Homo-oligomer: A and B are copies of this chain.
Amino acid sequence: MNRSERGWRRPQSYHHGNLKEVLLEAARKLIEQYGPTGFSLTEAARLAGVSPAAPYRHFRDREALLAEVARAGFERFAARLDMAWNNGVPTPLTAFENLGRAYLAFAREEPASYTVMFETGLRPGTEGETIPAAERAFDILQKAAAALCRQLPESERPPVKLMSLHLWAISHGVATLFAQGGLAAGKAPLKSEEILESAVLIYLQGLGILPGGNETPKSI
C-alpha cells in the first residue's frame, strides 16, 4: 500500500517517484504546443518540477527521450489499431473501415506522438533500429489486408505485402497532409476520414475486392 493510494499528498518530497512517465507526458504536451523543435528538456523538467539535470537519470539524452516518446507511441498505436480491427469482426470490410478511422484518430489525438514516430528527420541515426510495437502495428494492417484478399478467388489475389504497403502509404499520406495541422488541412473540402475512406474504396474496387470498378462511386 503506497502513499498515493490514499489521498495523502506528498509534500515536496526530494524524490519524485514517477518522473519518467511525467517527463514523457510533458514532452508530448510541449511538442504538441511548440513543435518538436521547440521542445526542450529543461522545460519538460520545469513542468515536472525538477532540476534540468534530473531527466538524465532516466534518459541518456534529449534524443533518447524523444525515442521513448516514439516507442511508447507505437505501443498505444498498435493497441488501438488492434482494438479497431477486432480480428475482422463483424466483417472484414467494416473492421477495416474501423481500422482506418482508428489510424486517423490516433494521428489527430496524439499529434506529438505521431510526429515523433514518423518524421524521420527528428531522430537521425535511428535508421537501423527496429521497434517491436511498430512491427506489430504493421502486422495488423497486413492481417487486415490478407482478410480482405480472402474474399477474392485465390488466382486473383494481389501480393498481400504490397497491398499493405499501399494501404499504409495512403493512410499515412492522408494523416500527415489532412488530419494533423498539415499543409492542406484547411484546403481540403472534406474531413480526412472521408478522403481516406473514398481513396481506399476506389483502391479496393481496383483490386476487385469491392464491386463497381468501372463506375464512379455514387456516394462521394
Closest to A194 in B: B162
Decide: B178 and A165 in contact? CB cutoff 8 A: yes
Closest to A112 in B: B121
Contact digits for A146-183, partner B, Cβ 8 Å, 1 yes 0 no: 00000010011111011001101111111011101111
A106 to chain B, nearest CB (A): 15
Decide: B199 and A207 in contact? CB cutoff 8 A: no
In the complex, what residues of B have CB within 8 A of residue A156's CB? Answer: 214-216
**Interchain CB contact (< 8 A) of A177 among B168, B201, B216, B220:** B168
Decide: A181 and B120 in contact? CB cutoff 8 A: yes
> With an 8 A cutoff between CB atoms, is A205 at the interface?
yes
Decide: A172 and B177 in contact? CB cutoff 8 A: yes
> With an 8 A cutoff between CB atoms, is A88 at the interface?
no
Decide: A184 and B165 in contact? CB cutoff 8 A: yes
In the complex, what residues of B have CB within 8 A of residue A217's CB? Answer: 158
> With an 8 A cutoff between CB atoms, is A203 at the interface?
yes
Known contacts A165-B188, A198-B162, A203-B206: A180-B120 contact under CB 8 Å:
yes
Decide: B181 and A176 in contact? CB cutoff 8 A: no
> With an 8 A cutoff between CB atoms, is A119 at the interface?
yes
> With an 8 A cutoff between CB atoms, is A13 at the interface?
no
Instruction: Spell out A's residues near B (CB within 8 Å).
Output: 31, 34-38, 115, 118-124, 127, 134, 138, 152, 155-159, 161-162, 165-166, 168-174, 176-178, 180-186, 188-190, 195-196, 198-199, 201-208, 213-217, 220
Please give me the 8 A-B residue pairs with the lowest Cβ-Cβ distance, nearest first.
A213-B213, A173-B173, A206-B206, A169-B173, A205-B206, A202-B206, A35-B124, A208-B214
